[in-house]
Every structure is written in C-alpha cells, then in structure tokens.
Structure 1
C-alpha cells in the first residue's frame, strides 16, 4: 500500500519502510510522528485531504543537505559579483505505518515544521488569558490621541486600564510610562 503525503510544501509518494528527506520538522531523533495531510491512500483520492488517513514515521536524524552555490555575475561589471552557499536543514525519516482511517485515535505527535506557528501552541492561550482580565472592565485607551497599541499595553502593564485611572495620574511623578499632559486632559474628558 502507498500514500501521498504533503509536508514542507512538497508531496511525497511513500510506502512502509521508505526513508525520506523532508524539510526540517520540530522533532528529535528516535521520536515517532504522524503526517495528517494525506492526499491519496492506495486508490482513494481525497478532495483536499483524505479524512482520517495518516502516515506515521520515525525520525532517524536531523541533517543538512548538500551545499548549493548561488552565484550572481553581471557581465562587463567587474565589481558586481556575488557567491553564496546554502545547506538546507532536513529531517531524515523512516515510514513505519500507513493508516487509512482512525488517525485521530493513535495519540502520536503530529508532524509540524520547525519554523511553523503551530509549533508553539502553548503561547497562544497564555496571551489570550492575559488579555481577558484587562479587557473585562477596561476602557479603550487608544481612543486618546497619541496613545497607540504599544502605549496602551505599557499603561495596562502599569495598572492603568480606564480613563478615570489615567485622569488621576500625576504626570511629573508617574515613572512607569511617559504620560503626556494632553493624555491626562483627554482622559478627564472621556471619563465623564
């Protein structure tokens, strides 16, 4: 049985036992991973992806590819030449299993690219949890002229989340953020 999987923007036709070099994945040597983006299994062709299908693989090693030379030369311009080399980071895999269905129940870690945003899912809930308490009883401080998102975040970190709190700030003694007198005046108007 064979399958066609997609990873790193490329498609690979694989069978059990195949050894593959793919774009670098966020996994260590000896770890078992699962590819869930399967385009075809045997003779089943999926619309974008075959539902419930997966390919499991074992990471053999993290390697670098052969050196590719990029040379730029503009003719009759002796000072305009450039030579650069690049070695792509790759992951060496051995395909272990091809599953036609039941991929969700395996419990194997999904294959994720090394530079992918999905590689760090733990950071997103933390940011959402930090924004939720601030937004509960807070005013939109960016409504004040001159206060952008960065200044509003600094003010929130200093404990100022409402117009009334900003209106009560003494510009000369407040050290956490450079608060301007115009901000305090506008906050007094908006607090009423």
Structure 2
C-alpha cells in the first residue's frame, strides 16, 4: 500500500515504514505528526483519488531527526568586470518515518506480510557479477599526403 502526500508544497510517495526527507517541520525527535493532505492512495488492486485531497484520509508520521542538508554553493560572476560573489546555503530538513496510513475505503495490509517479504529479500542468494572479456583495440595507421612542388 502506498500514498502520495503533500507537505511544504511538494509531493511525496510514501508507504508503510518508509523514511522521507522534507523541509523543516516544527517538533522534536520522537514527536508524532499527522498529515491529512493525502492526494492518492492505492493497495495494488484498489485506488482512491482525491479531488484534490481524499476526505478523511490521514498519514501518521514520527519525527526521526532534525538536521541541515548539504551545502549548496551559489556563484555569481559578471565577465570583464572583476565581479565575483560566492555564497553558500544549507537547508534545514526533517527526517520522517511513516507509522500508519488511515485511508477510508482501502484496508491496510498487515505488517506481518511485509516483514515476511523483507526476510525473503535478505536471504536471497547474491550472485557475483559476470566478468566480460576485454576487447582488443586495433592501432590506426597514420596516412601521410605528399605534396608535389
């Protein structure tokens, strides 16, 4: 089951126990947040589409941590004028974990089914990548043109 939610003017595709990064939200790590701006939800067979939002739908989230994103450099230059300016910007971000999704008309799958699927992925046999034979490259001959005098 997944849903598309809106937060801070951006849209995010979320599923049960997924972690997402959004612009800073007020709160401390461990706080619970509820977002009711659910635009779309589906369980694979049935779906629910909002106009623009699904009425009564909620996604419950937990704040994992508050951090600052990596630095983005802003460089301005005007040619031939010796004008150069360098600025940096670090955005405040919040890491959220989806704890539950309450969507009317769509039943959430039990978490035990998802855990079994995760176990199968972990126990899958990993195969080594196949080695490819190196291709021999041929040396190109230079051609010379003689000019008559």
Question: TM-score if structure 2 supplies the norm length?
Answer: 0.65
2:48 alignment partner in structure 1: 44
CA RMSD of aligned residues (A): 0.7
In the alignment, is residue 82 of structure 1 matched against residue 81 of structure 2?
no
Q: Secondary structure at the match of 1:25?
A: coil
Deviation of 1:37 after TM superposition, in Å, equals 0.6
Aligned residue-pair number: 100
Which is richer in strand? Answer: 2
- Larger RCO, structures 1/2 (Cα 8 Å, 6+ apart): 2
Q: 1:8-47 counterparts in 2 under 5 A?
A: 8-42=8-42, 43-47=47-51
- Runs of 4 or more, structure 1, over 6 Å off, are none
Deviations 1:88-108 (A, max 9, x none): 00011111111103xxxxxxx
SS at match of 2:29: coil
Which residue of structure 1 aligns with residue 100 of structure 2?
97
Q: Give 5+ residue unaligned stretches, structure 2.
A: 105-149
- Residue by residue over 1:135-170, the C-alpha shift from the partner in whole angstroms, topping out at 9 and shown as x without a partner, is xxxxxxxxxxxxxxxxxxxxxxxxxxxxxxxxxxxx
Q: How big is each residue's C-alpha offset from its partner over 1:68-114, in whole Å with a ceiling of 9 and x where there is no partner?
A: 00110111111x1111100000011111111103xxxxxxxxxxxxx
Question: 1 CA distance for matches of 2:79 and 2:40?
Answer: 48
Please give the TM-score of this superposition, normalised by the length of structure 1: 0.51
